[in-house]
Amino acid sequence: MEACFGWHDARSRWIRRVDSVSADSDQVLVARVLVRGDFWIRVNRRDALDVGIDWLAVRVHLRKTHSPSSGTTNAGRRTQHLFWRLVRVQSVYGLKSRTLLLVGGVVAVIVAVWIILARNCPNAGIALTANARYLHRLKNRTAIPHATDFDSRVTLEALLQPGDDRSRWSNDRAARVQGQVIDVAYARPEATNCYHPCRRDIHIVIANRNGAAKTEQVVVEVTPNLREWAAQQGIDWSEQTLQAQLVGHWCEFEGWLYFDAGHAEESENIHPQKPDNWRATAWEIHPVTKITVIR
C-alpha cells in the first residue's frame, strides 16, 4: 500500500493514490508519507496523535500466513502499530530539530551583534540603562584634563584615609597621584568595552610602600582608548611594557577621577575589615592620561 498525504492549514487535503496488491501480500510498502501540523492519526479508532513528519519511506515486511482471515487482521494491526511508532518517533525528532535550529539562530544573532559591537564599540559600551551608559562614557573619556580640572587635595594619603568616601571626591575632577607600583595586569572583559577580549583595561596597583596589604592599595587604570592615543604619540602602554617599566618603581599618574561603584562593596573604606576586600577605596584614576617614572 502506497499513500501520499499533503497538507494545508494544518489539515490533510487529499490522498493521491492507494494501491493494494492482494490480501495475501507478504510485503507492504509505505512510501513518502507526509503528515503535517495537527493531522490526526487515529489508532484502533480510539486514540489520536497530533504529529508532524517529513517525507518518510519505509518498507515493512510482514510474515506470510496461511490463515486468510486472522493472518490478514494480525498483519494489518502490526502494520498500523509500526506506522504509529514511526510517526511518533519522527514527530519527536522534528520537534528537537526545530528547537536546535531556533537555538542556533538565536546564538548566531547574538554572536553577530557582539562581533559588530566589539569591532565598533561605542563610548557607552553595552548598557541597558541611561546611568550605565553615563558611567561607561566616564570610563572611556579621551579628553586630556586641563590644569583647572585637577583637585590638588587628592593624594595617595588622602585616598587611603578611612571612612565612607562615596562623596569625598568628584567624577568631574582630575587628580595627580604618586605611589609605588605593586602590580600591572589586564582586567577582565567588561561591558564598558563591549566584552572584547583584546580591548581590556589595564589595572595598575599602587601603594605607599612595597609589601602593603591589599586594603592599603589603590587602583589606577589605562583604558584601550588611551592606549591607542598613547600609541599615536609614540608611547607604548601595553601591559608587557608597563609591567617592565613600572613595577617596583615610584611613579606619578595623572588622569580623571572615577568612583567605581561596582567595586565599592570590596573596598576597605566602604566595608571595613570585610574578609574579601582587595582594595582600599573604590576611587580610581580612570582613565590614566599621563605616566611618569620618578625613581
Do residues 164 and 219 share a domain?
A: yes
Cell digits of residue 220: 589606577
Cell readout for 97 is 530539530
The answer as to whether 117 is a domain residue is: no
Global pTM reads: 0.65
- Residue 46 neighbours by CB distance under 10 Å: 6
Over its length of 295 residues, how does the chain's per-residue pLDDT go in tens digits?
A: 444 433 344 333 433 333 444 444 344 333 334 344 343 344 444 444 444 444 444 444 444 444 445 555 666 666 666 656 656 656 666 667 778 788 888 888 777 766 776 668 899 999 999 999 999 999 999 999 999 999 999 999 999 999 999 999 999 999 999 999 999 999 999 999 999 998 999 999 999 999 999 999 999 999 999 999 999 999 999 999 999 999 999 999 999 999 999 999 999 999 999 999 999 999 999 999 999 999 9
Residues 289 and 147 in one domain: yes
If residue 58 lies in a helix (H) or strand (E), which one and from where to where?
A: strand 47-61
Which cell numbers hold the place of 196? 572584547
C-alpha cell at 192: 564598558
CATH number at residue 264: 2.40.50.140
> For the chain, how many structural domains are there in total?
2
Residues 94 and 43 in one domain: yes
Same domain, 163 and 89: no
Q: Tell me, yes or no, whether 277 and 152 share the same domain.
A: yes
Q: Which amino acid, residue 115?
A: I
Q: Are 74 and 65 in contact (CB under 8 A)?
A: yes
What range does the domain containing 12 cover? 5-100
Tell me, yes or no, whether 139 and 30 share the same domain.
Answer: no
In a domain, 88, yes or no: yes
95 and 142 in a common domain: no
Say whether both 286 and 231 belong to one domain. Answer: yes
Residue 69 shares a structural domain with residue 214: no
Residues 270 and 197 in one domain: yes
Residue identified by cell 511518533 is: 88
